[in-house]
Structure 1
Amino acid sequence: MKIKNNWGTYIVIAFALFISFIMYFVLKVQSDSKYDNDLVVEEYYKHDVHFQDEMARIQSAHDLKDKPVITVDANGVTVAFPTVFTPKEIKGTVALYRASNKKFDFQLPLSFTDSASLFIPKDKLIGGEWYINMEWKYDGRSYLTKEKVYIK
């Protein structure tokens, strides 16, 4: 007995092959550690509870007449505060986040003695996109500056 294949059989075969193709990639991404899909922020919902406070600190930083400046050059990243700030009174942290791999994330304290600038050498940073979150306090007020930079 000879089996006849009509166009409906070919459509079912095409759908089965397409679903198999998609399932192969889904399983590969889920099982291979090379495709690490971590969250950018651990404990996202706990972080989200303090969103209004974060917005207030961002607005405080935005309202400053003289703002800190983050510059990128061939040697690294420099965070410089204007001369209107007393360097010894600035306290806080600079967090550098790498969205593609959290293993490269790190934090540095903001504590100055004479000059109000912080230099991060390029050898601590790999090339690509970095998110810089600078949380700092000055004169009893809290500030938050967020910036995205690209390192070559």
Structure 2
Amino acid sequence: MMMNWGTKLVIGMGLFMAFIITLVVFMMRSDSDDLVDKDYYQKGIEYDKEYARKNQVQQDNAEPEIYVGDSLKIVFKKPATGSVRFLHPSDKKNDRTLNMETSKNNVFVLPLNETSKGHWKLILEWKSEGKEYLFEKNILIN
């Protein structure tokens, strides 16, 4: 049985229309829209606060000095209290947050003997003299 080109064209168009209708039905039944977070407004407000705290570090020239060896040593310009967050890019289970308070000479020391080796994202959030700061840095623990 031979088909002429007109029949093949109609069959091709029918298959294409069936494909498009299938995609439309699939998209309409999908509950989630991955491009928009459910709490996007709150995240936007938080980002503004985060940006202001990062900017405050630049304005006050308050960037701490960070030394990594057997322990993590953070030297602040002024006395500080806050938190240190360790984020491990390959394993979220290793992430941890610790409270910190500087000593008399504005230094915070944290032993790293229980911290796994590798790349970490260090996030420092602290208050000093009534101002809030946020500083992020990638570090390597050997």
TM-score normalized by the length of structure 2? 0.64
Pair 1:59 & 2:49 matched: no
Specify the structure having the higher radius of gyration (Cα). Answer: 2
Indicate the residue corresponding to 1:140 in structure 2: 130
- Distance of aligned partners of 1:67 and 1:52 in 2 relative to their CA distance in 1, 3 Å threshold: same
Over 6 Å off, 4+ runs: none
When residues 47 and 119 of structure 1 are mapped into structure 2, their CA distance, relative to the original with a 3 A threshold, is farther
Output the CA distance in 1 between the equivalents of 2:136 and 2:39.
Answer: 18
Q: Does 1:78 align with 2:78?
A: no
Normalising by structure 1, report the TM-score.
0.60
Please tell me whether the aligned partners of residues 63 and 135 of structure 2 are also in contact (alpha carbons under 8 angstroms).
Answer: no
2:98: which partner in 1?
Answer: 108
Deviation string 1:41-81 (CA, Å, 9 cap, x unpaired) is xx9855454111111100101222343111112x1211111
Change (3 A) 1:124 1:44: farther
Query: Which one-letter code corresponds to 1:148 in the other structure?
Result: N
Q: Which runs of 5+ in 2 are unaligned?
A: 1-37
**2:68 maps to amino acid:** V
> Per the alignment, in what secondary structure is the counterpart of residue 90 of structure 2?
coil
Q: Which runs of 5+ in 1 are unaligned?
A: 1-42
RMSD (Å), alpha carbons: 2.1
Aligned CA distance change for structure 1 residues 132 and 47 (closer, same or farther; 3 Å): farther
